[in-house]
Structures are given as C-alpha cells and as structure tokens.
Structure 1
C-alpha cells in the first residue's frame, strides 16, 4: 500500500513514524512546501526567536532517520491539486500516486487586510521559519513594538520582545486577553505577569489601521489613540489550511471534516492535526496543539492500517512567557464553575462542568497540572471545594 502524507510538520512526522512502528512496509512519501525538514513550531515564538535554540534542535528527526526508515521526503514542493479520481497528488514538480493519502497541512496565521496597513513592511506574523527570519532583525533593543492580539502567540511574542529590551504594547480588541481560551482568573494571572515585566496591555479596544507610507510608523486605535511603532506583530489566530481539500470536493467544517477515526468524506483520504476537525461528545472540534498533532496523527496511522479505533483526545497545552510556564490539561468548553488555588509564584484554575472536572490551568504549579491531568484522564472529579481546602493536592487522587 502506497501512502502519501501531504504536509511536513509535527503531525506528518508522527504519522510517518507510527506507520513504520506498526509494521507498514510499503512506500511512504512526505511532501512539504517549506524547504526545512519537519520541525517543532512552539519554540519558534520562544526559545528559537530568542536565539536559545538552533535549527538542529528544532528539527524533529535527523536526516539519516528518514533514510533509515525508507521514507521519501520532498521539501520545498508546494502541492497544487489532489486528483481524487486518479488518486494522485499534483505538485509544482510532479505527480505522486497514492492508495491512501493523509492531509497534515496545518494552519495559516490570520493577517490584517492590506487596506488597513496589514501589508506594510514591518508587519509580522509568527508561524514558520521564514516568519522568524524576517522578524529577528527587527527585534532591536529600544524598538517600539505593538502586538495585536492577546492570545498565546501574541503574549509569547510580547514576552520575548521585552526580554530583548523592546518597548512593548499589546492590544486586544476583546474585553480581556485570553478571552476565547481561558477563564478571567487565568487571564488575571497572565496580565499581572506581563505588567510586572513592563508590557503595556490595552484591552477592549480594536485597531483602526496601521499607519505609515514606506513602512510601519504607528497603530491607530478605535478610540482615536495613536501608538508609535517601529514594528507590529499580528497574533490574531490561525485558520486551518483547507484549500486543497476544498478544491478536491472534500467536506469542510472548521477544517477538513473527518469521522471519529480520522477519515474524510473520501475513504482514501485522511486528515490529522491543526487542519482537521473531528466529532466529539461536545460537538465537532479542531485542536491546535502539539499533543493533538501527535496523538491524532498516530491514531490515523493505525486506522490507515486497519485498526478501526475512534480517536479520543487527551488535550494538553503549554505556554512559556518570561520565566513562567502555563500548563493546561483538558478542555474548558462549557464550564459552569471555576475554582482557583493560589501557589507561591502563580496558581491553578480548575474548571468544572455540571460537577465534573474538565480542565486545569496551572501557572508555575507543575504539581497542580500533573494531578489535574491525571484526574481528568481517569474521569475522576474531586469536590470543587476540596481544591482549596486540601493541604496536599495528591490526596485528591
């Protein structure tokens, strides 16, 4: 059986490795549009941007590993079309036949419209190696940076810029930072962290335009304020990469729509990672995380080989900002109660839905994270009041 994997990121590397680990002896081909071999994305906005991690540590597998595994990797080769009738992937260099095709295409950063200055030199996004190569030279000590977007990418970029000595203002149009992904209690902890390091945070105010002629000069806010800026980073989320799938006639629903096993509406085509949405008891979900990219890709690899097992996510996330680590277990969707437990340099936020523990955010509190994660994965829910009254959280297990 000839398997082609379209996309060459974390999910692709995990899927290819799992195919071989499960004993698949047939051809495996990985096709990616970036020139670099599969690499980790999370450090791009943290250690790699700071210069604390080189490309060799960023890369997921050594070049010889791919050869040893007999996996053919085509890099810097954008795909143009999927011909479902002929079961062929057409790139700008050739055609690749498949018996089964896995889409691990990831997601693309949202950009501001050119009409409001989004295309001006000095406006950056943080998603791939090319983005970092363009951004790094601009991160000069004393430069004025405006970060647009108060999600994790924007906050991580703001933290790195402050560590490098830039003057940083972060603007969030929603009433508060982390509005879509975390409780107000977690946002309060992160806001305090950033302000203690000199980041100015403006919430509840959108931007009207990025000003400048030949390059960025400032950011105009919806309330009329003018923020001087030498550069702008847009951290306003991502959209799943679905263009090829859509053109091929596959169902799209906030990503490539797959069934519980990872199969698209074409039985020969599968999807995993950031580009895929899958059914759960909470409705159709698309998860943007390393954990999901690995776990879903491995589940899809097994199902391509006939395992027939539904993918059950066990979500976990993390975010490094300054010297602090935020660790998250579970999904807080639909929570109706939040309980907080302070710690020496942070604390934890516990989410309940109908009395059931569904998620934990832990800032500089690895013990709370690990215990919360174990409880969630075991389907155990402590009494919410016990979170704050139990001296040793381990007793909750």
Structure 2
C-alpha cells in the first residue's frame, strides 16, 4: 500500500502516531517527520505529572524511535507550505515535496506580560519540564512558587510543588479555576482540592508583570498586589503553532487553528490533514468547528488521518471529549463536554479526602460527567453515556457506590 510521500509536521503524539500508524497499515512510501524539538517524539501528559515529580526518567515518556517507522527525521522548523506545488519549506532551506501533508504542529504557550526573567517557566517541552523540576528541587522545602493559571496544567504543577513542601499560590483570572468549562458551582467545589492541600488560591485577578532581574523575585497582579516568588510558572494557555502558515492560503480561524472537515481534511482534494492541538475539526453533532487540546482527541484524529490517507472511503472523527488530571495523589476526570445551560447534579462520597461526581444533563440525557478521586464513579458514567436515561442511571449508580 503506497500513498506516496507523506510529510508530517510535528512529532508529538499526533504526528508520531500518524507515522507509526501508516507503517502498521502497510504504507511503503516515504514518511518524513519535521519537528524542531531534538527530544521528540515523546508523550506530553507526563511532563506535568511523572516527569515533573521525578517518578519517571525521561525515556519512559518516549513514543518510539522514528527509525522504527522508517521515517526521515528533520530536526528543524517548518517555514512555509506551497499547497499548489505540494512542497514544504524548512527553516534549513530544504524543500520537501509531498503527496500528503499532515499538520500536527501543536501549540505554543502564551507568555506572561513583561520582560522575561530567569525563573519564569512555560511547560510545553521535555526540556521545560526538566528545567522546572531542577528549579523546584533547588527551592524545596521553603521556596515560593506562583502559578499563573489554574487549569489542569497549573493544578498539576501546584500538586508537584506541594509534594516537595514548597509554598504555592495559584493566580486565576476566572471566579474559580476552570469555571468557564465546568460552571462556577462545580469549579468552586473542585477548587477545594487546592485549599485542602495548602495551596493559596487568588481568583478574579491576573498576572500583569514580573519583578526582579535577572532572576524573578515576584509577580504584579491586576488588583495591585505584588506576590513574592522564587519561581513562576506560566499556565495561561496555548495558541496553535501556525504563524508559519499565514501566507499558505490554508484556512485558519482567528486564533490560528487549522480548519478541517470531520475527516480531518483541510482541502477538498484531501492532500492536507490537520490533527491534534492545531486542528479545528468540524463536529457534525454540534454543527460547528471545534478545537480540542486533549490527548485523546489527538490520538483519535491521528488514527482517522491514517485511514483517510490510505483508504478511498473516508471515516469521520468523533469527538469523545475525555481528559484526566493527576492532582494531589488523586485523579480528576472529565467525560464529555459540559453544555452551557445544562442541569447539574452533584453526588458526594464519604471518606477522608474530597471525592465527588457531577452529572451535566438535559433532562435524562447525560451531556458530561466529572469525577474526582472516584474511579468507580467514572466507570459508571462511561456505562451510562449514550443511553436514553444516562443521567438518571449515572446518578443512581453513584449513590449506590
């Protein structure tokens, strides 16, 4: 089976899975992987979990060796693409012709305002994780860490720092971390995980600058407060890494995401595909394009792209929306996508630690479920998803656990 020359921009989970999947499916043509990160390919979820805590050595996050997939490896950035002549231009000046192009170039962290200082860390690459881990090790046990942004990454960093005894303050612009996704009531309940573990949580304000020089000594907040800090982590989100596509003529949304159909195809001729954090893929159920920054979506989109590159009858990507987060020795899991205006039912479990489950539903239909430190509740939610009375079934099951 030969789909010609397949060039993949990005060697993280989505890009490497396309490369390995093509070979497993019998593709015999050229595969080229383009990524400037010399450590790629590796899995990103462990960067804020097992790698940052020191439980894993970096090799355990590896996704494999491109030579196993007989793939060319170009450790450089993509600089431009010519869709008409089907060529990819690299920063090195090399041009790679392609028959199929897969955009798996991921995202880049949003920076904090102000002049960069030593001790201010993004967390996107393996090198970022190792640098931050070394800083935290040097700060323990009496250091002070400020985490800008209380999303899943920020929460995991806070958890890793608290395990070392480091004092942590999370600064969150929303009324509660993740309230834009989960709603204020549920987000406030989830925020209790931080306070239960000695984290100071400042909500409704944001970081507007950093102090010190050359090393960071603190952060300035929008409410006029200055917090002392020995290190700062920027967890204020990411944006698609698509600046290099601006002149390509490929369809981009306002945030830089690559617009693609439900088959992950960017163009009508199905020569260009987009997968992972960079893809704003059409969801027929919602009737609109959606960009999802979750590992599970990246894996599923990669598998769809492999099939559609090799087979004449395309299959559609189904957005399953599942994300998990390891925090303070437990696990937070979100199955499905909470819908604005959905009803919310909370079931709390007993025990020494915070443990609860949330059903987001419209009448009997279960839209999404959040579980906190309750694996059996997550299994019950999975069994109830897609059933006519899924919400009632899930809540009844939770109450019986």
Q: TM-score, normalised by structure 1?
A: 0.91
Residue 130 (structure 2) aligns with: 133
Q: Note if 1:6 corresponds to 2:9.
A: yes
Residue 190 (structure 2) aligns with: 190
CA deviations on 1:332-386 (whole Å, 9 max, x unpaired) are 133420111112341111111354211111111112112212322x344335497
- SS at structure 1 position matched to 2:252: coil
**Alpha-carbon deviation of 1:130?**
2.1
Mean Cα deviation higher: 36-45 or 238-247: 238-247
Mean Cα deviation higher: 249-258 or 180-189: 180-189
CA deviations on 1:173-219 (whole Å, 9 max, x unpaired) are 11111122223344234322211211100111223322223221112
Q: Note if 1:347 corresponds to 2:346.
A: no
Residue 213 (structure 1) aligns with: 213
Residue 331 (structure 2) aligns with: 325
- Pick one of 118, 122, 138 that aligns with 2:119: 122
CA deviations on 1:218-258 (whole Å, 9 max, x unpaired) are 12222222211111111111111222333211111241000
**Alpha-carbon deviation of 1:319?**
0.2
Residue 400 (structure 2) aligns with: 392
Residue 72 (structure 2) aligns with: 72
**Alpha-carbon deviation of 1:126?**
0.8
Compute the RMSD of aligned alpha carbons.
Answer: 1.9
**Alpha-carbon deviation of 1:161?**
0.9
Number of residue equivalences? 385
Q: What is the distance in 1 between the residues matched to 2:397 and 2:291?
A: 35
Q: Note if 1:81 corresponds to 2:80.
A: yes
Residue 304 (structure 2) aligns with: 299
- Stretches of structure 2 that go unaligned for 5 or more consecutive residues are none
Residue 372 (structure 1) aligns with: 381
- Stretches of structure 1 that go unaligned for 5 or more consecutive residues are none
Q: What is the distance in 2 between the residues matched to 1:196 and 1:207?
A: 24
Q: What is the distance in 2 between the residues matched to 1:134 and 1:313?
A: 34
Q: What is the distance in 2 between the residues matched to 1:295 and 1:372?
A: 21
Specify whether residues 385 and 374 from structure 1 end up closer, same or farther in structure 2 by C-alpha distance, changes over 3 A only: closer
Contact 2:359 2:394 in 1 (8 A): no
Q: What is the distance in 2 between the residues matched to 1:261 and 1:69?
A: 24
Residue 43 (structure 2) aligns with: 40
Q: What is the distance in 1 between the residues matched to 2:219 and 2:347?
A: 38
Contact 2:206 2:221 in 1 (8 A): yes
Residue 171 (structure 2) aligns with: 171
Specify whether residues 288 and 389 from structure 1 end up closer, same or farther in structure 2 by C-alpha distance, changes over 3 A only: closer
Q: What is the distance in 1 between the residues matched to 2:33 and 2:394?
A: 49
Residue 284 (structure 1) aligns with: 289
Q: What is the distance in 2 between the residues matched to 1:25 and 1:130?
A: 33
- SS at structure 1 position matched to 2:179: coil
Q: What is the distance in 1 between the residues matched to 2:247 and 2:200?
A: 43
- SS at structure 1 position matched to 2:331: strand
- Pick one of 380, 385, 389 that aligns with 1:381: 389
Mean Cα deviation higher: 39-48 or 366-375: 366-375
Q: What is the distance in 2 between the residues matched to 1:307 and 1:324?
A: 43
Contact 1:33 1:78 in 2 (8 A): yes
Specify whether residues 349 and 38 from structure 1 end up closer, same or farther in structure 2 by C-alpha distance, changes over 3 A only: same
- SS at structure 2 position matched to 1:102: strand
Contact 2:17 2:299 in 1 (8 A): yes
Contact 2:173 2:204 in 1 (8 A): yes
**Alpha-carbon deviation of 1:328?**
1.4
**Alpha-carbon deviation of 1:266?**
6.2
Contact 1:8 1:31 in 2 (8 A): yes
Contact 1:121 1:215 in 2 (8 A): yes
Contact 2:346 2:357 in 1 (8 A): yes
Q: What is the distance in 2 between the residues matched to 1:386 and 1:328?
A: 14
Q: Note if 1:308 corresponds to 2:314.
A: yes
Residue 369 (structure 2) aligns with: 360
